[in-house]
Amino acid sequence: MGMTDVAQYFTAKTGDAVTAGSKASSNIIDLGRTKPQIGVGQLPLVLEIRTVVAAGGSGTVQFALRKSATQSGGALNGTVTQILLTPAMTKGSDSRIDTAGNYVMRVPLPYEADQQYLDIYAILTGSATITYEARIAEAPSDKHTQVMASNVGNP
């Protein structure tokens, strides 16, 4: 994304730790409009969820993208609707959660994200734990490629 990070984070930049049960991300994203129109801009927005600290314990991990027209105190409230859900990933058999740095998900932001506020909801079963990062960012684009000696090569 060029030289400036224009991503908006659902989590702290160092990740959100979830140690038991289910937990909403530490931040919500305000899309800035009551009825945003996702997918009408030139550059698509991408939802990224990445493992910061590998899952521990045993059990499964899932992530949901949720939306709401209202929020209070930095949390979704009113009618909260789940619009995207990852498959359940089992600790010990899914490299997406077993290896730090791996992406759990990297997909275009769904057009169903049509309300002003979004969050990520982590759902853990058993004794599973995880620290993850989630953000909305611009999709990779050649318009933002930085030309440097290290990525151009010598003739």
Per-residue pLDDT of the chain (155 residues; tens, 9 = 90+): 333 444 688 998 889 999 989 999 999 988 877 777 666 554 567 889 999 999 999 999 999 999 999 999 989 999 999 999 999 999 999 999 999 999 999 988 888 888 889 999 999 999 999 999 999 887 665 554 444 333 333 33
- Which long-range contacts (C-beta less than 8 Å, at least 24 apart) are formed by 74-83? 74/27, 74/28, 75/24, 75/28, 75/119, 76/24, 76/28, 76/117, 76/119, 81/115, 82/121, 83/110, 83/112, 83/113
Are 48 and 103 in contact, with CB atoms under 8 Å apart? yes
Note the pTM of the prediction, 2 decimals: 0.82
Number of domains making up the chain: 1
Q: Checking DSSP bridges between strand 16-18 and strand 8-9, what pairing results, if any?
A: unpaired
What pLDDT is stored for residue 131 in this prediction?
Answer: 95
Q: Provide the CATH number for the domain around residue 126.
A: 2.60.120.1110
Question: Which residues constitute the domain of residue 62?
Answer: 8-140
Residue 1, in any domain of the structure: no
